[in-house]
Structure 1
Amino acid sequence: MSKICLLLLIFQLFFMPWPVFAQGDGERLKALQGRVKELEREMARLKRMLDTSYKFSESIVLFDKKIDLTKEEIRERFEREFFLLVERRGLIKILLKRYFKWREFLQREIASTSSHPDLIFVAIAESYLNPRAVSPQKAAGLWQFVKETGREEGLYVDEGLDERYDIVRATRTALAHIKRLEKEFGDSFLALAAYNAGRARVKEAIENQRTRDFFELFLPEETERYVMRIAALKEIISNHEKYGIYVVESELYRSLRVTQRRLVVEREIPVTVISDAMGLSYKAFRDLNLHVRKYKLERGNYYINVPEERVGQFERKISETPFVRLEQP
């Protein structure tokens, strides 16, 4: 929306000629009054979209901890991330739509581990909720594991199968990893710093700088920015209309709903055998199973993600498929 749109609305509301109503025209008058109220609401919305003052609270809360923005140095760090993000309105709109797409899936996984709901904003900060994301440091997937950390945390990583891209396995692994870091450091912000920079670097900083206050630690610049970026994303996405960013419900992406099954493959088969069992194209299958990196599955066990509405069909078809079976839970 632009200032031109706002001016047109003002002109329509205040300067267009009003008809003279005779007795018995009550219905028309009532309808016109309703239209005026709609225009007033639209004007208020457009004003919010054009307002660049971006007033936020003096205290932002992340993981139930207050970030005190009355302290100038902390406020400067927060504002750096906040303004860089909020001014990229196209990006924020995409992130908002992805947030609604992934929210149900991520909230379910987070709740199943009794983890903090703010972890959804960690995933947004890590990959912008793009499960195909790869960083310049070769961190990959929704939660941006590097190969070494992924393997240490129990993910299978090789040329044919890379579970850093498995949206279910990577999510569960990341949540468990962060929970262990929280237990180790006794602080959510330090745990996030360790997730970003590595536990060894954060432990070294604590030992040598004689403080456990995240905001008092001198850390790599990216790690100092990382926690503030998560806080800024939470503030903007949770209050997007306050900052003039709107999404229409009809334009939202379909909510992601998948169920994971474990397959036992007894001899090499084409991946299309599995996608056909789901009734999906190869691309649609790969979009949900990015961790399957080749056109054939070798003999072995595999976690496979299935659209919830196709689970019954998939299980029935697999039961009829030679050399493949579902592993019983």
Structure 2
Amino acid sequence: MIFKFIQPISTTPCGLPLAPSITIIMKSKYYRSPGKRSTTPDEIIMCTDPKQSMYCQLLCGLVQRDEVVSVGALFASVLVQVIRFLEKYWKELCSNIRSGHVSNWITDLSCRDSVSTILGEPNPELADLIENECGQESWQGILSRLWPKTKCVETIVTGIMAQNIPALEFYSYKLPFVDFPSSRHNTKINMSQGCDLSVLEELTSNAKQIQDDVLTKILKSNANTEYLSRFLEGSSDKELFKKNVPVVSYEDVKPYIDRIANGESSDILSGEPITAFILSSGTSSGNQKMFPRNNNFENIKIAAALSSLVMSK
């Protein structure tokens, strides 16, 4: 049960889409639904009203409580918000489960249809159980009490998110935190017997070769861009790149990104056309950043392959 929220897509001055990464990815043709591995149908996650989406995701998770083996959200702060939302709405959620009907204020038709299918027939026994847990004076361990098969909390708790650790430890009876996302990528630990380990074995045993191959592809596609040509003069030699191209910060490339966002050619930075801009969360420095993305979604395919090795026991 991983809580996900998307935002409406805005546009840059040149007309390219601009949104957080999860929005761009889930609305792209490369997105692959987790299907039965998730308690929440895509139709609910695609709802851009955060209140309706959060309510319906919680309702789906409560109805399927016996199938949940992990609880999480991208950032720890979001998961804390979800729990506090549950504190406010648990009585109404129980009423929906007891009656078999979702609240009238859920007006997004895709949300209503999807959650109604999962809600099914009236279930007063489940409603009583949830009321008993949520009605207790202390909410310590509420995640483990409502979802008893949960083995871990999947969320980012590093950096500024660390301030949410005490709250999540309180709500989860100190379940282990599993920080799957890392800087611009995802990693996972295979916890399921029988899963194909070939992807992980290749990534770990051939890491240097894979890095060299990726760098070769990057240089082949981008060596003639305005930015890299200053250092490489059109060459795609890896050693020349390592010697001449400095380590840069976002502020170093921001002028180039701004030029593309304002309508200049993508070949300033990328050998392939920029198709969208990903908007960062701003949690690292307090300022949101724009990251250009083209149609090369190989990194997402690798992340999806790793993410498919989920914990099932």
TM-score range, shorter-chain basis? under 0.3
Higher relative contact order (CA 8 A, sep 6+): 2
TM-score, normalising length: structure 1: 0.23
TM-score, normalising length: structure 2: 0.24
The structure having more radius of gyration, on CA atoms, is: 1
Could you say which structure has the higher helix fraction? 1
